[in-house]
Structure 1
């Protein structure tokens, strides 16, 4: 029996929730898709299921099975507790080069596997790349994936659905011309690598009208983000981010590039490359085969998934999908007896631990969002949904869940709902600094002060008896 707990992420047609098996204490990520949001057309969902059930690769999130109940589809997926890759990217900084190489190799390996099956992902970006506890990267979210090559005839077709995320999309997709499946994924990998190394995206869109993209085409590498990147990696990016898809690097070209085999070391100690390799947990193949006997890969893709197909539990043995009992009324992990619910959540960097009360945290957050120019809305007892825009003036929505953790502390967990992950992370860093200042001043008592506005004005915060009323009076003066 599976009990829904915390929401892990959201999408256009549903959400991903953490589910706990109350009999075995195992966890799974369940993608809940509302058919009503698709106007009753479940062809897209069936296509995602039929494709995802094929994949058996270390760098692809595992698909365990699905169940249809009322107006929802429930897709049971591997739970990657390491969180999304974008959360490991520091805005305007990125991540260490050796770590970017470690993750990039895995993105390319997963992409190569998909292409070997004739499948294009078409929405590769850090938000769709998960990290497991053993530091293994997993490609997820195949809602926009499609077949571009037949496994039987090897015939390739041009694609004409123009989809994806603008900063990661290729020029041919942006220009709405028929395109090949492989080059668009390769292009997205180049943008991902740039983001990992620099903490920023190179352009809003790859069009001649975009000045940043025009500078790239003119080989002007003396501006950000390119001036942050080592020449060897820049050489690789110049082969990936080629406007003409026919000239763009192939997977084999990327994997054979000299940077991909570079070994990083620190002062003669064990190299970071070797350390990461030693940390990795050996991947175990799932207990089912890629195709059924006397059944081709192509026929598997276009067939319907039977409700009697076995589903592999997160950790233990296969079970029948008909045995799945879903308790969709969400309960928190704390309500289910977990002493520290935070230890089971995705390991995100977008969290703040505070030494003030629950009510004070909710109030501080609301006031902080209003003063920053955001629009907060209390969407649950412990949740605030925040609406704003990023620097591209596109919609950015995130949620803050507040809950108690051991040692009488409060955790504010920030989660992206819609928009660019790096922009969300950038805003989180600004909010975190102000929130910590305010909470520290309040908990210390006796005349603490903190800058509350992002303008030149500031509010003095004093702590009398730690009551929310006094807190409100201090902030409203």
Structure 2
């Protein structure tokens, strides 16, 4: 399946290369405004002059973009992004003297990054709604044999002002599952811990250069796996709930990540011991129940203060340091509906207690009324 998807994408790229035309943007589109820009190029909101259709035009500088990478992103978005929460290309692609360009669905309300309040996050209901959509979108992409590899708030676009419908976009780094890519480390919590080796290689290269040694360090290659996206989704959950990140980089050099890893290892060790001691008593317990019990004697690191045991159980699945044991994006669906913040959990508990108290009072009134009715019948 994976190999077939990669070959099919290569074939689509080959065929589209034969039919790419050259156009003058101003003759066919009315450019309205800049929607975003980055190292890839820029995205402009435009209206098709003949059809009157609004769309986003994505411009890739020809000087720094290979035709192969442009066509890969275009064809992947056009042919594989059929989920409602994936941004899809519109079948328009062309070149100008300076750019390669393709048209895609426009996110008219900005990106997810623009609505995250620093140190606060966004409303919990919104977080669960967004993550539910992204779970489906990423699971769909994985089922077709591709990994996004660049999930972050800036690449998630809003289709309405209330953040009720979002679309994951920017497929420039997407690759087929099982393919190999050069390990690249960058200072970000979205960078997975399995590429820490690339940071060490970078340090070694700097050391050699400082010593005047021109011998290059051998490249490190890793296999593209869906677990890369799982890690990013875990980071996104934390970012949306808190408005910040749990650590700066996912390496042992980072004190906060190291503290998380130590906590995670204690959790894993305790679960292993419990499993061996009494398997029959624990085989039916879900990870949320186990996490809630463990909160008492192994509380999570301070950066997770305020997060409920339910979302901690989810983060423990998605932010597993070992990629082969990391949970899948689909598992997010199992954690929806319950409280992801301690504040919400306490409020739900308060409401439940109030409802139980009211129900008890109703039952007591009913019992009294029945008793009075019996006595009244006895008098008659």
Fold match by TM threshold 0.5: yes
Q: Which residue is 2:169 aligned to?
A: 140
Q: Secondary structure of 1:178's partner?
A: strand
Matched, 1:170 2:195: no
> Quick one: which of 291, 308, 314 aligns to 1:236?
314
Q: Which residue is 1:346 aligned to?
A: none
Q: Which residue is 2:12 aligned to?
A: none
Matched, 1:44 2:120: no
Give the distance between the partners of 1:222 and 1:115, measured in 2 at CA.
Answer: 32
RMSD (Å), alpha carbons: 2.3
Contact 1:123 1:164 in 2 (8 A): no
Distance 1:165 1:68, change over 3 A: farther
Matched, 1:27 2:106: no
Over residues 181-209 of structure 1, what are the superposed CA-to-partner deviations in whole Å (9 max), with x where a residue is unaligned? Answer: 20000000000010000000111210011
- Counterparts in 2 of 1:403-418, with a 5 A limit? none
Contact 1:82 1:135 in 2 (8 A): no
Matched, 1:223 2:302: yes
Q: How far does residue 86 in structure 1 lie from its aligned partner after superposition?
A: 1.1
The structure with more strand, counted as a fraction of residues: 1
Q: Which residue is 1:63 aligned to?
A: 89
Q: Secondary structure of 2:167's partner?
A: strand
Q: How far does residue 116 in structure 1 lie from its aligned partner after superposition?
A: 0.6
Unaligned residue ranges in structure 2 (runs of 5+): 1-27, 199-220, 264-298, 349-380
- Counterparts in 2 of 1:252-271, with a 5 A limit? 252-255=330-333, 257=334, 259-262=335-338
Contact 1:144 1:164 in 2 (8 A): no
Matched, 1:4 2:31: yes
Contact 1:172 1:179 in 2 (8 A): no
Contact 1:173 1:184 in 2 (8 A): no
- Counterparts in 2 of 1:100-139, with a 5 A limit? 100-133=127-160, 135-139=164-168
Q: How far does residue 108 in structure 1 lie from its aligned partner after superposition?
A: 1.2
Q: Which residue is 2:277 aligned to?
A: none
Over residues 312-335 of structure 1, what are the superposed CA-to-partner deviations in whole Å (9 max), with x where a residue is unaligned? Answer: xxxxxxxxxxxxxxxxxxxxxxxx
Q: Which residue is 2:324 aligned to?
A: 246
TM-score, normalised via structure 2 length: 0.63
Give the distance between the partners of 1:170 and 1:107, measured in 2 at CA.
Answer: 19
Give the distance between the partners of 2:59 and 2:236, measured in 1 at CA.
Answer: 27
Contact 2:191 2:250 in 1 (8 A): yes
Q: How far does residue 158 in structure 1 lie from its aligned partner after superposition?
A: 4.4
Q: How far does residue 261 in structure 1 lie from its aligned partner after superposition?
A: 3.9
- Single out whichever of 19-28 and 234-243 deviates more from structure 2: 19-28
TM-score, normalised via structure 1 length: 0.50
Distance 1:114 1:63, change over 3 A: same
The structure with more helix, counted as a fraction of residues: 2
> Quick one: which of 251, 254, 258 aligns to 1:210?
254
Distance 1:163 1:111, change over 3 A: farther
Q: Secondary structure of 1:168's partner?
A: coil
Contact 1:95 1:196 in 2 (8 A): yes
